Amino acid sequence: MKPENLMEKEPERREDSAFSLADKAAIAPAREERLFLLLSIFIGIISGLLVVSFRMAIDWLQVLLLGSAPNPHQPRLFIVPAVIGLIVAVLTRYVFPQVRGSGVNQTKAALYINNGYISFRTVIGKFVLSALAIGGGHSLGPEDPSLQIGAGVASLISRRVGMSRERLRLFAPIGAAAGLAAAFNAPISAILFVIEEVIGQWNAAVLGSIVLSAVSSVVVARSFWGSEPMFRIPTVTFSSRELLAYTVLGVFGGIAALIFSKALGYLRPRLRRQSAWKQMLQPSLAGLLVGGIGYFGLPQVMGAGYEVIDQAMHAQFAWKMLLVLAIFKIIATTLSFSSGTPGGMFAPTLFIGAMLGAAIGSFEKLYFPHLHLTGSLASYALVGMGVLFAAFLRAPLTSVFMVLEVSGNYSIIVPVILANTIAYVISRSFQPVPVFEMLTHQDGLYLPSMEEQREENELHIEDAMQPVVAPILQGSEMIADAAKSMAQYSGMEDSSAVLVQCREGLWYAARYEELQGIFAKAGEDPMTTLEMSLGTERTPILFPDLPLSSTLPHFKRWPLLPITNRAMRGALEGTVSMSDVLKRYQVR
């Protein structure tokens, strides 16, 4: 082959190489996106299997340690929780130091502080110690630990695959949704809770993956447990004449949530200030006290208490007994959780709400039979569960869908929304700081307040937009004509902004000194229009309803931003300058 032929082929090779690199750069994000979705399903499957094993371990330990049917005055009710508490304390102190707490705050901390990192040791410790504590009678639940277990699985898998750091942060809520969905057997509620409490806002980049992981984990869980909901729900009906009773339930639910959160806020920090050896004894002492409650007549408050919730829904307790169970469940959970024993607050919250709701329903049926038309306490227990969830955990959207998903009956939505709203407002009014945020502050962490983020009003461009006062020139004018038009604006400074209306509804924001330079060169080509002299660059197209923060990157280039109408291309609504934006943020 001739040398010149080689030279002719060389550009083609360089072009092929350049195309190959560009093609790889374009394909890489798409490939990572597909891998991201596939990993979400895989995480859901693994999390579902782990949560099923976790729940089985709790049930097995409960039967082994407390018996299949714990009754008052059994010595084991005293002994087992105390011994288990001591074992859990020692292992937490020396082997698994990161397993304290429910798991929700720890997952948020991993997301916002540690780039989504949760160690595999923490996953093992959360599994083993939470199963021991709940199975051994401590008044805690498995849902919150399941959430952290799922998040830990997601963290481990994403690190092994070698995902980017941005992706690693997103995997924590994906795994959290998978773990919680399998524990609840309710994917919608799990998705909403993770969005409400872990992420804090709807994020399109991660929502699809959260849904995939939650659904896949529920499919795995239901292959073991079946498709039935968590509770055996009898026929649920509702009459508008009962709204007064549901209003009362909302008031009492808000008060109960306040008492619960205040008790945790008082006891937990005081126990954490004790010396290290005293903290070692706290889980054992808490187990002894909780076991004492069971020994002297209320073994129902021990453990998660799902069977007791089921019994309350089927009217197996008198209203006075239901109130007593709600009160002592608050006491038992406060003791167990404040002692540092790993376990969650979801199940105790549902327990307290169900007891409170069933108590009010029973009281109404007994003393106001003309108002009680449904003939079932299940609706009151279900609404009570949602009430405590909304007021105590401050997840109002999740609380509504949780009740609907558990019951499968949408006729109950009116009392759910009514009672939840009343309880939420009462709790929010007297306890401004949500319980999860309160716990993070006690631990010395300052994570984003999800409740404040949900209720924060985002500023839009229209909030800072000002009327158009800058001179407006037509880009289609010849430079000489534009200079004459500009001459009527006297006293302008060099940094003053001038708007040029170009073709196709586009605008150009120029400084006065820039235009003066263009006008000075007008003699070189008198037939050149103003917009041709400005080049091809134009100011960004912005609309009044866009976020105000979207303007900030453009002020480095443009002195003034024209804001146009969505319906009329190029029609000015107003303008925004950097000073306008800063002033609006300062008065917020």
pLDDT tens-place string over residues 333-344 = 999 999 999 999
Looking at residue 479, its pLDDT comes to: 86
Looking at residue 452, its pLDDT comes to: 66
Looking at residue 295, its pLDDT comes to: 94
Question: In this structure, what token pair is assigned to residue 183?
Answer: 């524990």
Share the mean pLDDT of the chain: 86
Q: What is the DSSP letter of 52?
A: H
Segment 422-445 shows an average pLDDT of 91
- Helix, strand, or coil here: 68? coil
Segment 414-420 shows an average pLDDT of 92
Question: In this structure, what token pair is assigned to residue 101?
Answer: 């707490």
CA–CA separation, 436 and 102 (whole Å): 10
CA angle 256, 259, 262 (to 5 degrees): 145
Segment 301-307 shows an average pLDDT of 93
Segment 29-42 shows an average pLDDT of 76
CB atoms within 10 A of CB 332: 30
- Helix, strand, or coil here: 102? coil
Measure the N-to-C terminal CA separation of the chain; round to a whole number of Å. Answer: 74
On the question of pLDDT at 375 being above 90, the answer is no
Confidence band, pLDDT 50/70/90 cuts, at residue 25: very low
Confidence band, pLDDT 50/70/90 cuts, at residue 588: low
CA angle 443, 448, 454 (to 5 degrees): 135
Do residues 168 and 183 lie in contact, with contact meaning Cβ atoms separated by under 8 Å?
no
Question: In this structure, what token pair is assigned to residue 100?
Answer: 């304290």
Question: In this structure, what token pair is assigned to residue 479?
Answer: 């430079």
Among 181, 177, 175, 182, which residue's Cα sits nearest to residue 225?
182
In 296-395, which residue ranges form alpha helices assigned H by DSSP? Answer: 306-313, 319-338, 346-367, 378-392
Confidence band, pLDDT 50/70/90 cuts, at residue 226: confident
Alpha-carbon Rg for the chain, nearest whole angstrom, is 32
Looking at residue 26, its pLDDT comes to: 43
Residue 417, CA distances (Å) to 258, 377, 387 in order: 19, 18, 9
Confidence band, pLDDT 50/70/90 cuts, at residue 234: low
Q: Catalogue all structural domains in the chain, each as residue range(s) with its CATH number.
A: 22-225 (1.10.3080.10), 461-586 (3.10.580.10)
On the question of pLDDT at 79 being above 80, the answer is yes
Among 49, 32, 51, 53, which residue's Cα sits nearest to residue 209?
32
Confidence band, pLDDT 50/70/90 cuts, at residue 139: very high
Q: Is the model more confident about 148 or about 26?
A: 148
Looking at residue 29, its pLDDT comes to: 52
Confidence band, pLDDT 50/70/90 cuts, at residue 15: very low
Do residues 564 and 572 lie in contact, with contact meaning Cβ atoms separated by under 8 Å?
yes
CA–CA separation, 56 and 115 (whole Å): 31
Looking at residue 7, its pLDDT comes to: 41
CA–CA separation, 272 and 284 (whole Å): 15
Do residues 357 and 407 lie in contact, with contact meaning Cβ atoms separated by under 8 Å?
no
CA angle 456, 111, 260 (to 5 degrees): 65
Cα 498 to chain center, whole Å? 45
Q: What is the DSSP string of 156-196?
A: HHHHHHT--HHHHHHHHHHHHHHHHHHHHT-HHHHHHHIII
Rounded percentage of the chain residues whose pLDDT exceeds 90: 56
pLDDT tens-place string over residues 98-138 = 898 888 988 988 888 888 889 999 999 999 999 999 999 99
Rounded percentage of the chain residues whose pLDDT exceeds 70: 88
Segment 416-444 shows an average pLDDT of 92
pLDDT tens-place string over residues 497-556 = 999 999 888 999 999 888 888 888 765 566 788 888 888 999 999 999 999 999 999 999
CA–CA separation, 61 and 366 (whole Å): 39
Report the range out of 290-304, 443-457, 479-493 with the highest average pLDDT.
290-304
Looking at residue 138, its pLDDT comes to: 97
Looking at residue 526, its pLDDT comes to: 61
Lowest mean pLDDT among 194-203, 238-247, 356-365, 542-551: 194-203
Q: Is 115 left (phi over 0), alpha (psi -120 to 50) or beta?
A: left
Three-state SS across 509-558?
EEEHHHHHHHHHCHHHCCCCEHHHHCCCCCCCCECCCCEHHHHHHHCCCC
